[in-house]
Amino acid sequence: MVLGAAAIFISFATLVRAQDAPPPKVTIGFVDIDGDPRHEPIRAYERMILKAREHPFVGAKVAIDEAQALSRALKIDFALERITVKSADAIAAAVMQAREKGNIRFFVVDAPADAFRPLAQAMKGRDVLLFNATAADDALRRELCSREVVHTLPSLAMTTDGLVQHLVSRKWRDILVLQGPEPADAAMTRAFEASAKKFGARIVGKRDFKPGTDPRERDQNNPLLLTTLNRDYDVVFIADDAFDFARALPYRTQRARPVIGAIDLEPVAWHWTYERHGAPQLNSRFQRAASGRRMESQDWAAWIAVKMVVQAALRTGSADFAKLRGFILAGNGFDGYKGLAVSVRPWDQQLRQAVFLATPNAVIASAPIDGFLHRVNTLDTLGDDEPETPCKLNR
């Protein structure tokens, strides 16, 4: 009888300790760079801001706030820890420290493409998953090809594929290309040319422009002269990361033709005017959290990265890193509020997703465009399909 009472007491004490034990916790690190020039406003001159480019941390914050209701039901705590470093060179060390001392395994990384090679090398084979939310460079999906990196922002190839699909669907196949002087302009032009070839559009002319007003360089800085061609074209595509020349191009072309690319009709991951699939509610939550700022592509990419981790915990009922990572990379679908479910491609770990074709005040279309088919998933008509890429992480 005494042994039975002791056993009951021990069982009760064990139950009390179990009830008092804190729930498991999943902490997601958000890594960014202090003074990152990619998030500085684009200015025409000191007082005229052409584009206000913001850090996408608020997108991740909105997703972690959304997770709090699930946290109570799952008995798993979710937290977001911002890790700001002084330079891109410091990212790998900061991630390593957060992994070892803070037990953080998931990281949303807001960094330029150059930061990912040393970061991927430092994390190779380690139990981490890095979400690239702000670097669209195709080389990260092709040459870098890291098992530790998931790309939630669409690649350049995905966005230009979506844009060209729309042009071809409208039978606007003949295109004049204008390219700016920046490396980003050359990268965008290469992606667009590859998309045109892929879907049967034609580059009927290509001209380099040079911003400025020097009359000696008017062949390169005058929109009328740049767009004067001895054959017709349906649209003008412009690659202008600096935006200053692009903003003055519409309605100044030699022919009355639409301008696309850097202005007027842009391919984007997200747009504040999208009106379907829960997007208005997400946009409203973001605007409240961001003091009125509108949600943009990089904000969405940070948001979906956090949401994927939370949803993986919900569907597996676990906070275990290996289970969550396995679920995310297994091709399971997640609701990105774009209609078609998003999922991770097994060959390069790019997130499959729709691409919006948007003017400043409306989403005109969502790619993949009807009629562009794929044997498995129509989203794989955008960007590098498995046979097209040198990255073969699934082999």
User: Mean pLDDT per 10-residue run, the chain (395 residues)?
Assistant: 49 49 88 92 80 92 91 87 95 95 94 96 95 97 96 98 97 97 96 97 95 74 91 96 93 95 96 94 96 96 97 93 96 94 96 97 95 90 94 89
The pLDDT assigned to 75 comes to 86
Strand partners, 108: 30, 131
Q: Which residue type occupies 4?
A: G
- DSSP-derived pairing of the beta strands 362-367 and 355-359: antiparallel
Helices (H), 270-390: 279-289, 297-316, 321-329
Q: Say if domain 158-268 classifies as CATH 3.40.50.2300.
A: yes
In the chain the beta strands, taken as DSSP E runs, fall at: 25-33, 42-45, 48-51, 77-85, 106-109, 129-132, 149-151, 174-179, 202-208, 235-239, 259-261, 266-268, 343-344, 351-352, 355-359, 362-367
User: Are 55 and 5 a contacting pair, CB within 8 Å?
Assistant: no
Q: Do domains 25-154+270-353 and 158-268 have the same CATH topology?
A: yes
Domain boundaries, the chain: 25-154+270-353, 158-268
CATH superfamily of 25-154+270-353: Response regulator (3.40.50.2300)
Strand order in the sheet with 129-132: 77-85, 25-33, 106-109, 129-132, 149-151
The pLDDT assigned to 46 comes to 67
